[in-house]
Chains A and B, each alone.
Chain A
Amino acid sequence: MSVLAIINTQNGFATKSGLESASYAAGLAAQIGTDAVSIVAGPLSGTEAIGAAGIARILHHEAAVQDSGQWAKLASAAADSAGATHVVCGHDHFGRAVAPRVAVRLNAGLVAGVTQLPEGSTVRKNVFSGKAMADVVVTTEKAVYTVTPNAFGIATDESKATVEAFSADIGAARETVAAFEPASGDGQVPLPEAELVVSAGRGLKGPENWGIVEELATALRATTACSRPVSDIGWRPHHEHVGQTGITIRPNLYIAAGISGAIQHLAGVNQSKTIVVINTDPEAPFFKAADYGIVGDAFEVLPKLTAAVHALDS
């Protein structure tokens, strides 16, 4: 028996979502009295972080795998080999493509986007775009869980992982990655993974005014985001749009300047742990969803916040 974490890597190191899955798998393994094992493919140098997250044994497939069908074959073979009763993966782009395929192969019930460790066969996840939660019971022998990004901390204890070579018949690839275009975010943490986000909307009046947003984001080492109207009229790139039809995020801190807080926008950000709203209109609906608010002009407030962050750091 074991719990298997499917860990995606970038440049040889586990992604943040991969380490969250590793910690979740370790927590679950401790709960049911077994070991957490992981499957990793391609160049691997970050074994320490994976071990520290609680993985006892890394099954290492030497060649990198991009194709989701091949990944599913590899991960299912690893699950069989390790006798895994539970498989854990991140609910990120990687996990959305791979975990459902693994669930089909293992004939396992899948709970997508879990936010807590299970209690028995019941596990909690968010539904209705964060407006409610559901306790889901898995009715099959095996279970697959995908873990909501930034919902589950990464353990860093003293434990170390052993590494074993692992191979399986994964068939031919159908999907080939031809090119990667990084978002123009200048080395910012990608939005779905970001812990701190500074976002702005139409209240900023024009794309030329985004400097004060970027300055606060830089001071906080936060990622910038925007509302839908702003990306629709081309003031900001589409990948910055958070909300119902854009990206759903769950940062520790979400600062929204000049965004009124339409329900479609809230659906994308209401799972943020702390929400700060800056708006000239004290009746803006966003204040109802906020933890902290400043009724004022973003053009005056944002530079003051940036200065306060610098003062705190110095």
Chain B
Amino acid sequence: MKLLVCISQAPDTTSRIAFTNDDREFDSNGVQYIVNPYDEWYALVRAIELKEQQGGSVTTITVGGAQCDPTIRKSLAIGADDAVRIDSEPTDAMQVARLIAEYADGKGYDIIFCGKETIDHNGAVVPAMLAEMLDCGFVANATQLDVNGAEATVAREAAGGEEKVTVTLPLVLSAAKGMAEQRIPNMRGIMSARTKPLAVESASAEGGSRIERFALPPEKGACKIIDAENAAELIRLLREEAKVI
């Protein structure tokens, strides 16, 4: 099976979120970047498991500058065979999807894996855009994947429960919790990742939007502490002050 995994980097969850240049850019000063957790824990690991079971290859693809290389090397250390980086600084999801689709088109990938969303922009739209651009089936928020020949059976999160969906390959899916268990790269993986191929390609594409400005949410007021002996007071406040019940 020929598998492609879309890998994005994102600021570590515990990063301080701040902006520079008149609130037009994210302040990456002192920020630790990680492989976007959904891409790593669920999409990449499931792709590697499939390759281990059925043979084939796992390639990762990332759109971004050279600052992405450490997270790409980590994906290789976890077990991807090779990596591609499209050297571009995208302004929106449409541009990212176009660059990936252009690369993947005609290369015969059976499944393209994405995480369900990135933890910085939280758009969750690149996967379905890719499916449309490459004219193939799509499953969002997949929690389980089995492949039998030219068909995949996928479980996905759905309103109020879980759905089992059958989809013909080729397929794009976005992976959510349940797909796979996180893998920690071992020393052998880390050593071999240094010499695995990382191809850098230049390409350009149009986007459809750009971020004008960032803002931080208003500061939370102080937490109002209610005495544990007088818990009923909380219910009164929720009805009369917060008006939520």
Contacts and interface: CB of A to CB of B under 8 A. Distances in A.
Is A bound to B?
yes
Main secondary structure of the interface of A (DSSP, over half): mixed
Given A93-B141, A96-B128, A292 B177 contact: no
A76 B97 CA distance: 19
Determine which residue in B132, B143, B224 has the highest number of CB atoms from chain A within 10 A of its CB, and name it.
B132
B140 to A, nearest CB: 4
Contact of B159 (A10, A127, A136): A10
A137 B231 CA distance: 46
B129 A104 contact: yes
Contact of A196 (B128, B160, B228, B244): B244
Interface in B89-147: 92-94, 97, 119-129, 131-133, 135-141, 143
B140 A96 contact: yes
Size class of the contact patch on chain A: 35 or more
A105 B162 contact: no
Contacts of A304: 231-232
Main secondary structure of the interface of B (DSSP, over half): mixed
Contacts of A10: 159
Contacts of B184: none
B225 A176 contact: no
Nearest to B10: A128
A182 B160 contact: yes
A312 B242 CA distance: 15
A283 to B, nearest CB: 12
A273 interface: yes
Interface residues of B, number: 81
Contacts, number: 277
B221 A291 contact: yes
A292 B212 contact: no
Contacts of B224: 291-293
Contact of B244 (A100, A126, A246, A252): A252
Interface stretch (B49-57, B64-72, B186-194, B233-241): B233-241
Contacts of A183: 160-162
Given A69-B137, A127-B122, A301-B228, A253 B238 contact: yes
Nearest to A277: B223
Nearest to A190: B160
A212 interface: no
A125 to B, nearest CB: 8
A136 B210 contact: yes
Contact of B132 (A100, A177, A192, A309): A100
B164 interface: yes
Given A288-B223, A295-B228, A111 B129 contact: no
Contacts of B88: none
Interface in B186-232: 207-217, 220-221, 223-228, 231-232
Given A96-B125, A110-B93, A274-B244, 16 more contacts: A68-B131, A97-B140, A103-B94, A107-B208, A109-B207, A130-B217, A135-B212, A137-B212, A138-B208, A139-B209, A196-B245, A253-B242, A274-B242, A292-B226, A292-B238, A301-B228
